[in-house]
Structure formats: C-alpha cells, structure tokens
Structure 1
Amino acid sequence: MKCFCNVFYFLIGLSSLTSWSQQSTTASKPSYIVYNRTVEQISENEKKIVRLSEGAGAGVAWIEGLEFSEGEIEFEAKGRDVLQKSFIGIAFHGVDNETYETVYFRPFNFQSTDSVRKIHAVQYVFEPKYGFQQLRNTRKDEFESAIKPSTIQATDWFRVKVVVRANKITVFVNNFNEPCLEIPSLNLSPIGKKIGFWVGNNSNGDFANLKIKRD
C-alpha cells in the first residue's frame, strides 16, 4: 500500500485559543503523513475540512511532528449513513501504521432501531492485539456504547472530546455532560506518541477543528 503526504491548515480563532492552557497545541500548518488513503482540503460553509478518501482496510492521517501522551483531544467529525461503510475517529499513542489506540464512531448506528446496533455506536480498540472483534468476543459491550446525546443523526457534524489520563479513556460528544464511553485503556505502558485522524474499512471521513491539550 502506498503512502501519500499533503499539507493542510487549521484556522482556529482567538476565542478557541484562549480557552486552552499553555500546554495546548494548535497547528497552523500541520503536515500529514497519510497511510492507505488520500486526503484533501475543502471548505464548506466556512469550515475548513480534512477529508480522507474511501478505501479497503483502515487508513490514518498522522500529524507530522505532533506528539501526544496524556491530556485531551478535541475534534469535529462527520460520517455517512451507509451500513458498514462509515467508521471515523482519532488514533493516538501510535507506534506505526499497525499499532495504536483509537476511539471511533459508527454513524450508521446512531439512530438504528436495532437495539444491538444502537449500542455499537462508539468504540475503543488497541490495535492490533485488541481489535473490535476480539473485544466483542471476550469482553462484550465493555468497550463500545450508544451515542450520547441520542439526537445526533448519521450525517451530522459532531464534536468529540477524548480525555486520556491515568490509563483511562473518557469520551464526550457535543459538550454533553455525561460521557458516552468511559473505559480503562488496554495500553498500560504506551510508548507511541503519534496522533492522527482515522477511518476504518471501506470508509471515508471528514474532520475539522482539531485541538490538543497535553498534560
């Protein structure tokens, strides 16, 4: 599989910057190292978007030069309402293109009337040892959950905050006061510090407004 590299820009207003401590990172001209996807920059309704293409297998756009160990990750994401073709999220503690943790979403399950699918809306995995199927087989429903708030549609933009501290992962969506996922990290001694936008098998994805607060 080929790697593609492109440069994109985040436009973050002063009000966003002042809401973060001096430990915060906002990249004005980040460079992406992209694995198993292509990526483009587009603008829609004044939102600057990083768009990853659709493809077989997982793909990730690592942010070159940015490291993350503990703290908070915020970003916006938008998927699509296509069954098994919309897996979108953030990869972190990356060692390489195969070894990383990720929190990702299945937008096609957000409003599912199937009770089983509905609780498979947000997922944590630690690749490659603890993929979703391994966790589902051995620790059923512990590392995935329904979306909160429950009103988000499959094609909506939604804002995610992933808190990574003390071997614990907590995920909030759209500033909702209750987390939609709160689980122990399966990566107890992380050595990787790579972070990037992630999409799953047969998926594309749109991302915007990434902010990192490092402890």
Structure 2
Amino acid sequence: MNLTMKVYLIFGCLFFSWCSILAQTKVIELTGNKELLPVNVNIAEVDYEKKKSVKVTAIKGNETALVKINDVDFTNGIIELDLAGKRQEDSHPMNRGFVGVAFRITDDNVKFEQFYLRAANGRADDQVQRNHTAQYSSYPDYHFDVLRKESPEKYEAYVDMVPGEWTHVKIEVEGGKAKLYVHGNSQPTLIVNDLKLGANARGAIGLWVGGGTDAHFANLKVTQRE
C-alpha cells in the first residue's frame, strides 16, 4: 500500500468515525417542540436572559413535576443544556430554587434518575447549605432526604452558581454510573457509581423543576451511546 492510499484510508476512517458521532448526537429544539409533555407543570416559551427558552413552573400539590421529552429513549450517553432557577417571590423563604434534569423516565412517569441544583445554595452564607447545592436522587424510593440519611455527603456536592443566571450542565451516563459536570468544567461536580434504577434502565429525558421555583431551559443536546 503506497503513501497516498494510506492517507486516504486514514482520512476515510476519521470521516466515518466523525459521521458516526454526529449521527448519535441530537440537538433538541425546546421552543416549538410538539414532543414536550408537561407532567404536573405549566410551560411557556419566553426570551430569558438573551436565550430562547422554555419556562417551567410546578403545579402545587404534585410530587413529580417535569417536562417529558417523548421523542428520546435514553439509556447511556450525554445530556447537555443550559438551565436557570430561582425562588418564586411568593414562595417560602427557605425555597432554594430547585432545577434539574431527569433521565431514564419510565412510561408511567413513576421511576427516573435525576440530577438537580439548589440555585440559592451556591452562594449561601451557611456552609452546610453550600454543600447541598448539587444533588442526585432517584424516584420513587430515593429522594434526597433518604439518601442524606443513609449516606451523608455521598450524593450531594458544592458548586458555585447564582439564582436566575444561566448555568451550563452536562450529564454523562454509562450503565449504573453517572457524572454531573457544571459550567463546562473538565472535572465532575458530582459522581454517582450506583444509580438506583440499575445499569439497564432506560426511558425519556425530562426538564425537572421543584415547587416554588421559576425554571428556564435552553440549548438541549443529547448524545446516545448503546
């Protein structure tokens, strides 16, 4: 094989590898998307802090509150998006502005994994609150209070953030493990090595919001890996 053929072969392999990666990556437009299914939330398309976004607020009295993206069946891969959360003015003063991402949501919306942020904790004066800024939990059996009691500090971490400001989030999921990256950092903010629904769970992706929070979401991108 001469040098020219080797060069073509190398570039050909790189091209097909690149195309394969692109084929697995999907940019999901949130505004104008008819595949968004509100689950115990109100949604609206708004311009927020220079981004076209979906505003999500929870309907009071419901434990599960999210926007389910029906056209994504997710097992392993990467979820990236921008999100912003802040406490509603008329909510309880202790509300922290809960905003995050759910994944592997079952058809009945009962089971899912999630990472979320408590926006007001990022720059709180109380160090304990700061330590509880980023959170992993799993529905229906492993809410934050159960995990905090059973394994203090294991499923929570600190990350700097400001209520109401856009925050870039990336979640990497592989089997029974997941990592949360914030602000484009190369190192994860939070690592979970024992996802509670198991390594083979699969399902939809959702934009998750806690009660008493104004949440905004934009620029969702999903890369699937089998």
The equivalent of 2:205 in structure 1 is 195
Asked if structure 2 preserves the Cα contact closer than 8 Å seen for 1:121 and 1:146, the reply is yes
SS in 2 for 1:22: helix
- Determine if the alignment matches structure 1 residue 123 to structure 2 residue 135: yes
SS in 1 for 2:147: helix
Task: Summarize deviations over 1:36-59 as a string: whole Å, max 9, x none.
Answer: 111010124541101112433331
5+ residue gaps, structure 1, are 1-17
Moved over 4 A (4+): none
Task: Summarize deviations over 1:127-172 as a string: whole Å, max 9, x none.
Answer: 111111110111111001101xx3x322211100000013111111
The equivalent of 1:158 in structure 2 is 167
What's the offset of the Cα at 1:60? 0.6
Cα distance in 2, alignment partners of residues 134 and 154 from structure 1 = 26
Listed as ranges, the matches of 1:11-22 within 5 Å are 21-22=22-23
Cα distance in 1, alignment partners of residues 216 and 66 from structure 2 = 12
- Determine if the alignment matches structure 1 residue 132 to structure 2 residue 144: yes
Two-structure CA RMSD over aligned residues (Å): 1.9
The equivalent of 2:24 in structure 1 is 23
**Structure-1-length-normalised TM-score:** 0.83
Asked if structure 2 preserves the Cα contact closer than 8 Å seen for 1:63 and 1:194, the reply is yes
- Aligned in 2, Cα 1:125/1:190: closer, same or farther, shift over 3 Å? farther
The equivalent of 1:88 in structure 2 is 99
How many correspondences in the alignment?
Answer: 194
What's the offset of the Cα at 1:97? 2.2
Cα distance in 2, alignment partners of residues 51 and 186 from structure 1 = 29
SS in 2 for 1:136: helix
> What amino acid sits opposite 2:27 in the alignment?
T
Q: Which moved more, 1:204-213 or 1:189-198?
A: 189-198
**Aligned-residue identity in percent:** 26
Cα distance in 2, alignment partners of residues 45 and 130 from structure 1 = 34
> What amino acid sits opposite 2:55 in the alignment?
R
Task: Summarize deviations over 1:4-50 as a string: whole Å, max 9, x none.
Answer: xxxxxxxxxxxxxx9x6320112355321111111010124541101
Structure whose alpha-carbon radius of gyration is higher: 2
The equivalent of 2:215 in structure 1 is 205
The equivalent of 2:155 in structure 1 is 143
Asked if structure 1 preserves the Cα contact closer than 8 Å seen for 2:102 and 2:114, the reply is yes
- Determine if the alignment matches structure 1 residue 174 to structure 2 residue 180: no
- Aligned in 2, Cα 1:101/1:39: closer, same or farther, shift over 3 Å? same
- Aligned in 2, Cα 1:212/1:77: closer, same or farther, shift over 3 Å? same
- Select which of 49, 56, 71 maps to 2:53: 49
**Structure-2-length-normalised TM-score:** 0.80
> What amino acid sits opposite 2:162 in the alignment?
Q
- Greater fraction helix: 2
Asked if structure 1 preserves the Cα contact closer than 8 Å seen for 2:96 and 2:121, the reply is no
